[in-house]
Amino acid sequence: MDGRSAAQSVLGIFLMIRRRKFLATLGGMVAWPFAARAQERMMPVVGYLNLESPGSASLQLANLKRGLNQAGYFEGRDFVIEYRWARNQADRLPALVADLVQLRAAVIIAVGSPSALAAKAVTTSIPIVFVVANDPVQLGLVASLNRPGSNLTGFNVLNAELGGKMLALLHELMPNIATIGFLENPNSQCLS
């Protein structure tokens, strides 16, 4: 092989390597948006299930996000929230939970007894955090308050056991109060 053909071979190999690098770089540039989307999908999903409509829970959602932020978790950076609203149609809840399960939610926040019961009926593997007004043991959500015994945990916002203690504390803080009122929306099904 003469010097010229050796140079042509080396040049051909060099051009082939450069072409491969160019194609690999071009392929990486084309694939990058797809990889970025795949990484976005890898972000944990928090499922939010509510019997009511979006406007009814704006204060609750603001408080939820504020609490997560205070704990160092930020929507869009650390997790995404997938909202599911039944719009006061309880029969829609099982399908909404099934949708969250299909999205592989890392956790489901179930607001209200109907939402919590629907979530419990659909999944036994995804953690469910409920917010209910009724006794979660009587509802059948958990085995006991001390040992829930399943994938459900949460809290009872109108705990009858704590009601007396709250009144006693209020009386201790303001001993001169003679009348205490309690307002409730009888049409709200959110936490019942």
| Sign of the Cα pseudo-torsion (150, 151, 154, 159, in order) | negative
Q: How confident is the model at residue 146 (pLDDT cuts 50, 70, 90)?
A: confident
What pLDDT, on a 0 to 100 scale, did the predictor assign at position 110? 96
Instruction: Assign 106 to helix, strand or coil.
Output: coil
User: Does 57 have pLDDT greater than 50?
Assistant: yes
Q: How confident is the model at residue 41 (pLDDT cuts 50, 70, 90)?
A: low
Question: Are 97 and 52 within 8 A, CB to CB?
Answer: no
How many C-beta atoms surround the C-beta of residue 134 within 10 A? 18
Average per-residue pLDDT for the chain: 80
Helices (H), 42-157: 58-70, 93-102, 113-122, 136-139
- What tokens does 116 get? 């919590």
How large is the angle between the packed helices 113-122 and 93-102, nearest 10 degrees?
Answer: 50
Read off φ and ψ for residue 67, nearest 5 degrees: -65, -40
Q: How confident is the model at residue 178 (pLDDT cuts 50, 70, 90)?
A: confident
Choose the weakest-confidence range: 73-82, 109-118, 145-154: 145-154
pTM surpassing 0.75? no
Q: How confident is the model at residue 183 (pLDDT cuts 50, 70, 90)?
A: confident
Nearest to 47 by CA among 129, 124, 152, 157: 129
Query: Domain 41-160 adopts which CATH fold?
Result: Rossmann fold (3.40.50)
Question: Are 112 and 102 within 8 A, CB to CB?
Answer: no
User: Does 53 have pLDDT greater than 50?
Assistant: yes
Q: How confident is the model at residue 27 (pLDDT cuts 50, 70, 90)?
A: low
Residues 23-40 have a mean pLDDT of 52
